A and B are shown apart, each in its own frame.
Chain A
Amino acid sequence: DTGVSQDPRHKITKRGQNVTFRCDPISEHNRLYWYRQTLGQGPEFLTYFQNEAQLEKSRLLSDRFSAERPKGSFSTLEIQRTEQGDSAMYLCASSFTGGRGGNTIYFGEGSWLTVV
């Protein structure tokens, strides 16, 4: 088990372009989360999935943002028509409901986005 994996780790894009991030959760984890973190701030919740169902979305997730988890395994986060304000680190996390550990959430190393 290699933990939560995110790709790419760094992305520089021009304003107006679309970007997509991928997250591979810890195997067997049925919940997957996306957070956004800007410098000097704590992570802010964006959305989460239980299996393939997207169960909660933050108001931070504008119409330009879309997340999917088509088979209940990996997830993608797409940002369309990027803006400079989208520059941040996008963190993926996963957890398993049930068993010991009580839904502890494990994070990936994040994907840094810079919009120029």
Chain B
Amino acid sequence: AQTVTQSQPEMSVQEAETVTLSCTYDTSESDYYLFWYKQPPSRQMILVIRQEAYKQQNATENRFSVNFQKAAKSFSLKISDSQLGDAAMYFCAYRSSGGATNKLIFGTGTLLAVQP
């Protein structure tokens, strides 16, 4: 079974600085998707960024980028120029690419605080 591990329960960053959130996963599959979701205090889960495992190029979405290391099964999220609105719980998630299952498997999350 696939698992997702986020080893940083909490992180803090100064406004305008850069922070990296860690995520590792375990799978025997070769094709899959990885995601970072943000859950602000309002509790709605918002997709931040996604990565297809077959793509070597790291995904980027404005201030958010990932460092995808397939061999190491590592998928970290870098937030550049941090803003107060980035404060939230961040979840790393895995989904198989094919087959019958469509479920997302989440890590336990990292609570990010942004200091003004």
Residues of A within 8 A of B (CB): 31, 33, 35, 40-45, 48, 55-56, 58, 89, 91, 93, 95, 102-110
Contact = CB atoms under 8 A, between A and B. Distances in A.
Nearest to A50: B102
Nearest to A109: B44
B84 interface: no
Contacts of B103: 33, 45, 48, 56, 58
A35 B105 CA distance: 10
Interface in B61-114: 91, 93, 95, 100-109
Contacts of B109: 40-42
Contacts of A44: 106
24 contacts: A33-B103, A35-B104, A40-B108, A41-B108, A41-B109, A42-B91, A42-B106, A42-B107, A42-B109, A43-B104, A43-B106, A44-B106, A55-B100, A56-B103, A58-B103, A93-B45, A102-B50, A102-B52, A107-B44, A107-B45, A107-B46, A109-B44, A110-B43, A110-B44
Contacts of A104: 47, 50
Interface in B4-58: 4, 33, 37, 42-47, 50, 52
A104 to B, nearest CB: 6
Contacts of A56: 100-103
Given A55-B100, A56-B100, A45 B44 contact: no
A8 B65 CA distance: 35
